Every structure is written in structure tokens, then in C-alpha cells.
Structure 1
Amino acid sequence: MSAILTLNAGSSSIKFALYASAAEPTSLVDGQVENLGDSAAMEIGDAVLEIGPADHATAVAAILRGIAPFLQGRSVDVVGHRIVHGGTEFAQPVRLDETSIAALQKLIPLAPLHQPHNLAGVHAARAAFPEAIQVACFDTAFHQGHPFVNDAFALPRKYFDEGVRRYGFHGLSYDYIASVLKRDHPALFQGRVVVAHLGNGASMCAMDNGQSIGSSMGFSALDGLPMGTRCGQLDPGVMLYLMGQGMGLPELTHLLYNESGLKGLSGLTHDMRTLLASDDPHAKQALDYYVFRIRRELGAMAAVLGGLDALVFTGGVGENAAPIRARVLDNTAFLGLSLDPKANAVNATRIDAGAVPVLVIPTDEEQVIARAANSWLRRHRM
């Protein structure tokens, strides 16, 4: 019997999930290794295991030990990886070999804070599971096929041809939401839907008949909505100004990725729960800006779609922060949106009180990776 392992490797953590291979992969256990570096620890099921000093290879070895009791006679025959950037070349999951890995390494400049860690997880998994099929799933793939006007910047055309274009991200999450809509709400799936993936990373996607036709994120994972520590939409003149003041590339990168967003605006934290509970006026201003930008992007996405048949909230904030959802939906009757406060307060699946459905759907990126890995495994065996 075969098992599927999914890995989502970041700079300081690796999320993982183990599935039994079947027509629809079945979850066996999931968890994560946190604090890679000097004092890593692994959460698996209800247990927390101290690892100590660990890099990605050490963490994957610990994951292998941790999942062993859950294999129940199965072997890990395929490992699925989340890869943030697939560029223009990769529109579907791909088997990882020397050629594809080399191509993905060339994309590191397009996602400098994500791609190297994703690939470190790949290298560690190949060493730990040398006989397993390794499969990459891309956050950018769901957005392939946008109209030119949605992907281009108004720069000389040669830059677009070189790959300086809008890619969009969080594609694995949007892929999962589309699958749930197709299964449980087929009429909505065929319509015009805006999905708000709100978490530490945040973006919005316009879907028509289950296909992405617009994303708030662009060339990098910085654009669009403000996020936990990332700036979101920013006038490029601000960066020119900061560079003119002597800020170098490393400092600017750290500022935009790690010190901005809710953390930067509030001066306190990027944690939504803390901000919602705070009486600090800067926390209120940070949340005001956050909601304002979501509402602005909601209107833009509805315009891209030419109307709105449903709105979906997902991601850690979208699924759990009822006050944020309420504020986003305030005074949106012009879009046909309304709110059922009682349903919203308990994070119900359907929280609207009018004609246009508003849904709260928990995302499951690991399931999308597992399905793709399972497909590769089944093809390999045929």
C-alpha cells in the first residue's frame, strides 16, 4: 500500500501531511516543524516533539520518524511539494527531476523569500525518500491564462517577454475553493465569484466558471492587499525615494516583506487576534486600512467579472475573524451583498442575508497537493 507525503517548506517551518493513496487521498496525520534553526520542534497530531538544532534536511528526517507510526504498513511512494513560483513554464503539477529543478532555481529572483526554501524542502525530501516520485505543485499555476491586460505592466514590451508580468499567487488555495464550489455549489461554480484568501498572506481572486481571470497579487507576493508583514500595493515611487535616501536592496527587501503590513501600520504585531482585541489607536488604524483595501479590491474584482454571483472568505483570517468579514460587508448592498450577523458570529458556511451568497469555506492546500501527487503515482503504476 502507498502513502503520499505533502511538504510546504518555508524559511523557518515545514508543514506536512500524510495521506493514504486512494481514488481520493485520505488524511492519516498532519503537522508542522517550527523554528528551524537552533530550537526546532515538531507538532504532529496532538503531540509536540522537541528536535533541537535543525535545517530542512534534519526536519524532513524528523518528519519521517514522526509519521512512521501512522504508515501502518504503507510506504511513502510519492512526495508532493508546494512551490510558490512556476513562472510561465509550469501551468500544471510536474515531476521533479534535475531538469525541472534547474528551471525552478532560475525563478528564485522572482520569489526570493519563498522559492529557495521550497527547493530546500525538495532537496531534503529527495535525500530522505530516494525512491519516491517527487511532484511540484505551483501557487502561480491556477492563474495561468489570464487576458493580456490582466497580466501586463505598462513597461516596454521586452520586459513582459522576459517574464516581468503579473503571476498571481495562493493558487493552491483557490484551486481547492473551486473544487468545493464545483462539488457543493455547482451553480455558483459556473458563475462570477470573488474569493478572498485572508491570512498572514492575503490576496483576492476573480473566478468565472471556476477559472481565474484576475488576481490582486502580481509579479511578486508583495502586491495587492496589505498582509501580516507585507506592504501590499505600493507606489513604486516610494521605493525610488527610499533608495534615493540610501536604502539598499537587502534593507528594502526586509522592510517590504517583514516590517510592513499590519505589523508596520500598527507598530505592534501582525497577529489579527491581538489587533482586534487592542485599544491602541494604531491597531484600529491598521485594521481600518486593511478593511478599506479589501473592500476596494472587492469592487475592482466585481468590475473585472462584470458582476458578482458569490463572495467566498477563506484563509485563517477569512475563516475565523467574524468582525473583519462584517466590516468588509458593511454598506455593500450596491453589490447585492448583505450579512446575517448571527451566522457570521459562529463562522457558518453561509453568512449572507440576501440574494448574493456569501460563504466561509476553510481552505486545504495540502489536499490539492495530495490529489496531484496521487495522480502522478497512479499514472506511474499504469
Structure 2
Amino acid sequence: MSLILTLNAGSSSIKVGLYAAADEPREEARGQVEALGPAARLEIETGGERTVTEIGPADHAAGLARLVAALAPLRAGRPIAAVGHRIVHGGPDIDGPRVLTPDLIDHLDTLSPLAPLHQPHNLSGVRAALAEFPDAVQVAAFDTAFHRGHPWVNDTFALPRRFYAAGVRRYGFHGLSYDYIAGRLATDHPDLAAGRVIVAHLGNGASLCALEAGRSVASTMGFSALDGMPMGTRVGQLDPGVVLYLMGQGMTAAEITRLLYSESGLKGLSGISHDMRVLLASDAPEAAEAVAYFTFRLAREIGGLAAALGGLDALVFTGGIGEHAAPVRAQALARLGFLGLALDPAANAANAPAIHAGPVPILVIPTDEERIIARAAARALLTSAPDQTK
């Protein structure tokens, strides 16, 4: 049986998954290279065991080569038949996975200004994989695709219509995570999946999505991955007048970009760290204030999406903060009893799968974006070369 490699290339890391190719891919190993640059680190996890190796200087191509070499013994001579890539931005028209072609890669490159922290690195991973696996089917799974088909009122800004036609609209992100959660709900909680569900994907990047019968109808992220929730280093919701003011004060576009993407959010508010774990453990009042702002915005976004849905049948937490930060969930939900949301304190403290004590279910479901990428690659592989999975 041949293999599928999933590839999630970020600004400072490359994450991979190794799967046996099948209708439902079977994970065999995961790995990542962290801290790309002068002192990169390689991690491989298989069979519940994890190894960490310092590898020194590495860019995206070198990091991928080290991952491929580390995974080689696990491949046992089996070929990599498909590589699945996470691509953050697919633009206004792409509503599902696509096999990557030179023309499509060129088109995706033109979208880099819409996702400057992610898209260029995603495409660097694509180019490195094309060089490493020239005979493999290369497949893109898009974070924006899950949100295509929003009602117009949740997709547009109150700008002249020519801007919407030119692609200035609310795209939404974290679609791979929401796709996975929607599938888990359909399998494990079909009654909830058929209703109105809000999913909170909370991590270093954070957003929320309103699902109706498993489909995205609204998201807190909009034109870019800056909007909505405050994040580790990203600002979240911001009056655009602030940007105009900063421009008037002489800041360049590059300086404003760095401020909003890399120096704001939890890091900027606290002056301590972008990491929620560090802030929750800190006694500094600035840390507490940063957490309070995060949880206030979380409650506000849940309330807003409940209005977009016309009610709420379930709430799901996922992502690193969503799955593990019980105090964050508790602080936000303390404001939302009017929606029928109430916590079981013991279940919440234990990060249990179900943490509600009120009429509206509150679930904690670990996400698996890599599996969504692997499934997309498996489908493309079966379509383009069915015999490769035998």
C-alpha cells in the first residue's frame, strides 16, 4: 500500500503526517520541524513515542528534507503517492480541495497579500514537496473553502459593490478545523449536527464559526486572518480608523502590518507572552487583563454568532486553548447563561468531552486538520490513479 504525506508549512515550522492511503487514511506517524532558521528542531511521533533532535540551520526545503529522511524507515520502501497541503487562502471561488497545477500555484501566489503570514510559507512547502516528490499527486486543502456559500449579509462589507466584485469580502479561515468538527458532530452527535452550533477554534490563531446543519453560515474572521478574536500576536477586531490614524502618524504599511500581525493580541496586551498558558500562570495584573479581554471578546463573539443563527443548540471548543484552558472557558461562559450555557465545574476542570450543566450542550472536541488534508489527498489519489493504493 502506498502512502500519503500531509504538509502544513507555516512561517517558522513544518508539520507533516504520514498516512496509509485508503478511503479513510490511517495515520502512521506525525512530525514537525520547529523554529526554522539558525536553530531548528525536529520532532517525530509514532506509536505513542516522541523523539526530539536539534538539527541546526534549516529553511523550508532543508526542513522538509530532514522530515522525509526521518520518516524513511517508517515508509518501509512504500512510495509517497500523494502529498496533501494546507493552503490558507483560496480566494472567492475555490470551495473545496484542488489538485495543484502550475497555473493554480501561480494564482494562489497572487493571493499572498490576503494572508501574508501564511500563504507564502504554504506555497514554499508546495514547491519543496514538488522537488522532493515529483511523481506524487499534489493536493491543496483550503482554510477558506469551508466558508464559501455564506449568506450575502455574512459575506460582504458595507462598501461600494465593486469592491465585493473585486474580492473584498469576508472569507473566514480555520476551515479545515471546522470541517473536521462538523464531521465529528455528524458521526457522534447527529441530532446536534442537524441544528445550530457554534465552534470556537481557540489557539495562537483564534476564530469562531456558526454552523447550521453542518454548513458555515458566519465566521468571526473576515477579509483577513486579523479580524474577530484577539490572538497570540494578532489584534483581532479593530476600528479601521485606528489604521488611518497610524498612517497619519507616519507609520508605513510594513510597520502597521508588523504591529497588527506580530506585536498585538495577547502579547501586546500583556507585554509578557503570546502564550495563554504563560498568562494563566502569571501573577502580573497585565496578564490577567489580557486574559480578561480575550474571554470578554470570546463571550461577545459567541453571543453575536448565536444571533446570526437565530438561537443555539450546542457550543464546541477546540484548538489548543479551547481544548485545554478551563479557566478561559469558565470566564467566557459566566456571561452567557442567558443562552442556556452553564458549566459543570468538575467536568470543565478535567477538560471532559462534555462540560455542560445546562440545557445547551457544551462539548470539547480535539481537532485534526491533518486528517482533513489526508482525506482530500486520498480522494484525489483514487480519482487520478486508483491503482496506487493497492
TM-score range, shorter chain: over 0.9
The structural deviation recorded for 1:300 is 0.4
Contact 2:100–2:139 (CA under 8 A) maintained in structure 1: yes
Provide the secondary structure at the position in 1 that maps to 2:372: helix
- 1:38 paired with 2:35, answer no
TM-superposition CA deviations, 1:325-354 (whole Å, max 9, x none) = 111111422101111011111110000012
- 1:340 paired with 2:344, answer yes
Partner Cα separation in structure 2 for residue 39 and residue 290 of structure 1: 32
The one-letter code sitting in structure 2 at the alignment partner of 1:55 is: D
Partner Cα separation in structure 2 for residue 99 and residue 51 of structure 1: 35
Q: Provide the residue aligned with 1:105 in structure 2.
A: 109
Partner Cα separation in structure 1 for residue 21 and residue 144 of structure 2: 26
Q: Provide the residue aligned with 2:3 in structure 1.
A: 3
Q: Map of 1:249-264 to 2, 5 A cutoff?
A: 249-264=253-268
Provide the secondary structure at the position in 2 that maps to 1:31: strand
1:269 to 265, 268, 273: 273
1:292 to 280, 293, 296: 296
Provide the secondary structure at the position in 2 that maps to 1:179: helix
Q: Provide the residue aligned with 2:285 in structure 1.
A: 281
Provide the secondary structure at the position in 2 that maps to 1:287: helix
2:195 to 191, 194, 197: 191
Partner Cα separation in structure 2 for residue 57 and residue 89 of structure 1: 30
The structural deviation recorded for 1:199 is 0.3
Partner Cα separation in structure 1 for residue 342 and residue 12 of structure 2: 40
With the length of structure 1 as denominator, give the TM-score of the two structures.
Answer: 0.99
Provide the secondary structure at the position in 2 that maps to 1:214: strand
Q: Provide the residue aligned with 2:162 in structure 1.
A: 158
Q: Map of 1:1-382 to 2, 5 A cutoff?
A: 1-45=1-45, 46-382=50-386
Query: Sequence identity, in percent?
Result: 65
The one-letter code sitting in structure 2 at the alignment partner of 1:7 is: L
Provide the secondary structure at the position in 2 that maps to 1:49: strand
Provide the secondary structure at the position in 2 that maps to 1:298: helix
- Equivalent pairs counted in the alignment come to 382
Provide the secondary structure at the position in 2 that maps to 1:17: strand
Partner Cα separation in structure 2 for residue 164 and residue 374 of structure 1: 33
The structural deviation recorded for 1:94 is 0.3
Partner Cα separation in structure 2 for residue 112 and residue 325 of structure 1: 30
Partner Cα separation in structure 2 for residue 205 and residue 280 of structure 1: 32
The structural deviation recorded for 1:279 is 1.2
Partner Cα separation in structure 1 for residue 332 and residue 99 of structure 2: 40
The runs of 5 or more residues in structure 1 that have no matched partner are none
Provide the secondary structure at the position in 2 that maps to 1:125: helix
Alignment RMSD (CA, Å): 0.8
The one-letter code sitting in structure 2 at the alignment partner of 1:130 is: P
Partner Cα separation in structure 1 for residue 337 and residue 231 of structure 2: 26
The structural deviation recorded for 1:308 is 0.2
The one-letter code sitting in structure 1 at the alignment partner of 2:342 is: S
Partner Cα separation in structure 1 for residue 277 and residue 206 of structure 2: 16
Larger deviation, residues 215-224 vs 332-341: 332-341
